[in-house]
Structure 1
Amino acid sequence: MAQILLEMNPLELRAARLEGGRVVDLQVVPAGDGQPQEGDVFLGRVRRVDSDLQAAFVEIGAARDGYLDASDARPRSRRPLQRRLQEGQAILVQARHGALADKGAGLTMAVQLPGHRLVLTPTDSDLTVSRRIADAAERQRLRGVLAREAGDPDGGYAAQGPAGCILRTAAAGAAPAALLDEYDRLRRAWQRLQAATEVGRLLAADPLPALLRDWLQPGDAVLALDGTALAAARGWLQDFAPDTGLRLAGPADADASEALEEAVQQALEPLLPLASGARLSIVETPALTAIDLDSGSARGGASGSGALRLNLEAVTEIARQLRLRAIGGLVVIDFLRMRDPRHQAEMLAALRDTLAADPEVGQVLPFSPLGLVELVRRRRGPSLAERLLEPAAPVLRPAAAAALALRRLRAEQAAVQGRPLTLACPPDVARLLPPDRLAAAGVNATVTVDPAIPRHAPGIVPA
């Protein structure tokens, strides 16, 4: 059984999935930064259709127009895109991925609305069942439940019936009433989206449901580290996973809160020590992420079997850090040199086996002539470092620093039993902490500006 930690304030959502007390998944989502995130739904306006690219640029109210490829336009058609979309046309679109570097968000008209047991696909009529549900009888039963809802008693899925859907792994064993109730909830949500009229408006943008949908498994429990997270999670769980345990953290849960904080801080560091004394260096660049294993203070790293031992230790941590840091694109790994082909084959097999649990990892190539291993991980948006750190230096962005200040204010507020506090921080952080935002976070504090205080070390004293 795993535990999902949730922490929310007006500036940030932080979440972690713990297995055996160890963080295996991590999400940090800044709130209201104006950047489209994967899954956001917009009523957009076609600004331009490029006949050469067979793509459209769509205004969605963000700094950069979104990019819609012809293959993502709906309904499907073999006609050229310029004959399917017109400039100025209003269309419902969803972000396939967030904005990357100098590129706008990737968009699709094939909107998907996720629940816990199923995903509604209102622009497509297909009914599909997760391949992870291997039992043929169960697959047929699930198809039958939704097929009857579409008015097709023979077990097919009528093309003219209600919106299509994808039955997720969590649907296995679910009662028909639970499946149909979730289907109806999502269908009503789609009807509300279709009624939108304000072009360029963000219609659906809540990262918490998608996070719970992707992480939650039978038997898992959710631990809210604050009241805001508790209230936000309760609504979704009541609708889609009412049997999930949910509670507010108490003094006995200090270790869980520390595990989340430690995982975030560790995932922002370029150097990561391993238990053996070896070290991983993880450096993100615009072109690729370079990972280098250094034997450090570990013993025996220069020998064949010793190098293999340290490389195998690094494999597990590399797979974990790719997930925690949300690293995407090309990854190049420089392991300790092993001359024995058997050792290379064993280590490469271990790497592939470990990465098999990561759905974003694609191809893992064999050792190159220079002894490097290359792999590709699907980029779903900015990495953790890109979200939280300035691009030119390892310094917290103002929004991340303001969220840090709020967390520390909350902790200090509890220690002084609600008495007023004074927060000293630099001007760009203070601007993000007006009185109404502090009040929304449940903090009784006054903000003072001090340019000499670093963003990562706000000063907090009793008023």
Structure 2
Amino acid sequence: MSNELIISATQDGSRIALLRDKTLVEFHNEEEGSKFVVGDIYLGTVKKVVQGLNAAFIELGYDKDAFLHYLDLGPQFGSLTKFTKLVRAKKIFGKLEKFTLEQDIDKHGKIATQLTKGQIIPVQIVKEPISTKGPRLSCELSLAGRYLVMVPFSNTVSVSKKITSSEERKRLQRLITSIKPANFGVIIRTVAEGVEVAELDKDLRNLVKTWEDGIAKLAEAQTADKLIGELNKTSSILRDLLNESFDNIHVDDKKLYDEIRAYVRNISPDLENIVKLYTGRAKIFEHYGIEKQIKSAFGTTVSLKGGGYLIVEHTEALHVVDVNSGNKSNREESQENTAISVNVEAAKEIARQLRLRDMGGIIVIDFIDMRNPEHKRMIYQAMKDAMKDDKAKHTVLPLSKFGIMQITRERVRPQMNIVTKELCPTCNGTGKITASILVSDLIEKTLEDLLSKQNEKNLVLALHPYLHAYFTKGVFSQRVKWFFKYKSWVRMEKDSSMGMTEFKFLNKEGEEIQLTA
């Protein structure tokens, strides 16, 4: 199984696609300077304490106040508040070794006993703003590294349950206990299995430095200031997923390429050479077929290879997926066989869709009815197997007697939603356009103006693949005729994100030439 990361730099950030065996399984659109990312630690101010909810609303600079429940204060909240006061009073400077921890707070206590209006506290984002809700917060701070998760104000060392070898669990627990600083708890991640102590120590030192650098800002920070920022999306994906199964990381921007290569060199030097700078003529997402996969995967209707299809609908409360057999029903011997075949394929695709769109909350799936209870158990197991690589916390329930499956999936950020229906670039949705056959005349007229009157050189014409084929196919293609006519070769780029009659000219610096009507 091959894993590839394709990263396309944009004007506002980057688009990140994770391919597994050339199939798109994760897609992220990261904007520069985006705030309130899961894992970020901010300095907040208590705006309101609501005893009826046993929670408080915290001011973070977002238009909606963030939500902090008593259960999310964490057992070490007393230590956190004491430490914050000492740092703000400049009586302590970030070190925890000589700090005396407070007793754990009562887990069944009341919010009013711990927080008061106007109180300043460090908080961590656990859910990004979604719909009309502000961020969800926690005061149980943690810093994630590649092999370890560090928890300040604790001394517990725990090992991931996915590490099953008792000898390896004891080895890791013994090693981390011997090297960790006092008053820092550590959770050992699954990827730490078999890792040497030098790598674990390096990861731990990096986390301690991140903590100390963040706390250094705490003394002078104002409300809504970010103390510790989570890695950008590219780096966090690499931190969590990078291993020997990764074949390539392709980047189309030199600056981003250098940053990613340096990061990979730091966390896994032996994999540095898999980071490659893409220099092809076509856009990187076009070259690897990602643009087409995005268009086909994010619509209301999702086709299955075997002939069936899914209908995906979203509401405020839940997501609904309807499984349909389509023309698959003509290929099987019986209705039950058709149902099993389509349902198994649908389970795999639904698991991919949940991860790809980052759908969270309650998901209800209406599978095709099956009469045999054993077949229902088969679909339940197929769904669990398909979702085992999903990093988000989730619960899958068996099919009900009505053929309905319910899934809950952790929702920590807004769902990825991409509009796949294109607005006609010529009519702007009115339904009427000028004759499409005239678009070639318009392109040639524009080309003549640019070459003859504006003396542009090294022009690039970006247009829909259908138009690209029209102008380039054949020995004496339209592009060849232009060359003889204007004594200038026009380079053409396919761009399937453009409308059928849409086009644009780029100059030799790659900047779009603004055309006058």
Output the TM-score relative to the length of structure 1. Answer: 0.78
8 Å CA contact 1:49–1:57 kept in 2: the answer is yes
Rg larger in structure: 2
Q: Aligned residue pairs: how many?
A: 398
Shift of 1:357: 3.0
Shift of 1:168: 1.2
Where does 1:353-432 land on structure 2 (aligned, <5 Å)?
Answer: 353-360=385-392, 362-385=394-417, 388=418
Aligned to 1:72: 72
What percentage of aligned pairs have identical amino acids?
A: 27
Change in Cα spacing, 1:124 to 1:138, as seen in structure 2 (3 Å) is: same
Cα distance in structure 2, aligned partners of 1:56 and 1:297: 54
Which deviates more, 46-55 or 219-228?
Answer: 219-228
Aligned to 2:260: 233
Change in Cα spacing, 1:366 to 1:177, as seen in structure 2 (3 Å) is: closer
1:323 counterpart = 2:355: yes
Where does 1:202-213 land on structure 2 (aligned, <5 Å)?
Answer: 202-203=226-227, 204-205=229-230, 206-213=232-239
Cα distance in structure 2, aligned partners of 1:95 and 1:395: 35
Question: Structure 1 residue aligned with 2:203, among 176, 182, 185?
Answer: 182
State the SS of the aligned residue for 1:297: helix
Aligned to 2:222: 198
Q: What amino acid is aligned across from residue 25 of structure 2 in structure 1? A: V
User: Unmatched 5+ residue regions in structure 1?
Assistant: 152-160, 397-416, 424-454
Aligned to 2:275: 246
User: Unmatched 5+ residue regions in structure 2?
Assistant: 79-103, 424-455, 463-496, 507-512
Aligned to 2:30: 29
Cα distance in structure 2, aligned partners of 1:418 and 1:246: 33
8 Å CA contact 2:126–2:136 kept in 1: the answer is yes
Question: Structure 2 residue aligned with 1:283, among 313, 322, 345?
Answer: 313
Aligned to 1:43: 43
1:56 counterpart = 2:56: yes
RCO (CA 8 Å, sep 6+): is it higher in 1 or 2? 1
Output the TM-score relative to the length of structure 2. Answer: 0.70
Cα distance in structure 2, aligned partners of 1:350 and 1:339: 17
1:350 counterpart = 2:390: no
State the SS of the aligned residue for 1:384: coil
Aligned to 2:140: 110
8 Å CA contact 1:114–1:213 kept in 2: the answer is no
8 Å CA contact 1:300–1:307 kept in 2: the answer is no
CA RMSD of aligned residues (A): 3.0
String of CA shifts for 1:62-89, please: whole Å, max 9, x gaps.
1211111112222441153222223222
8 Å CA contact 1:9–1:228 kept in 2: the answer is no
String of CA shifts for 1:143-195, please: whole Å, max 9, x gaps.
222212247xxxxxxxxx14222211221222212211111111111111112
State the SS of the aligned residue for 1:251: coil
Change in Cα spacing, 1:248 to 1:234, as seen in structure 2 (3 Å) is: same
Q: What amino acid is aligned across from residue 121 of structure 2 in structure 1? A: I
Q: What amino acid is aligned across from residue 9 of structure 1 in structure 2? A: T
State the SS of the aligned residue for 1:223: strand
Shift of 1:22: 1.9
State the SS of the aligned residue for 2:269: coil
Question: Structure 2 residue aligned with 1:335, among 367, 379, 397?
Answer: 367
Change in Cα spacing, 1:421 to 1:46, as seen in structure 2 (3 Å) is: farther
1:274 counterpart = 2:295: no
Change in Cα spacing, 1:32 to 1:193, as seen in structure 2 (3 Å) is: same
8 Å CA contact 2:459–2:505 kept in 1: the answer is no
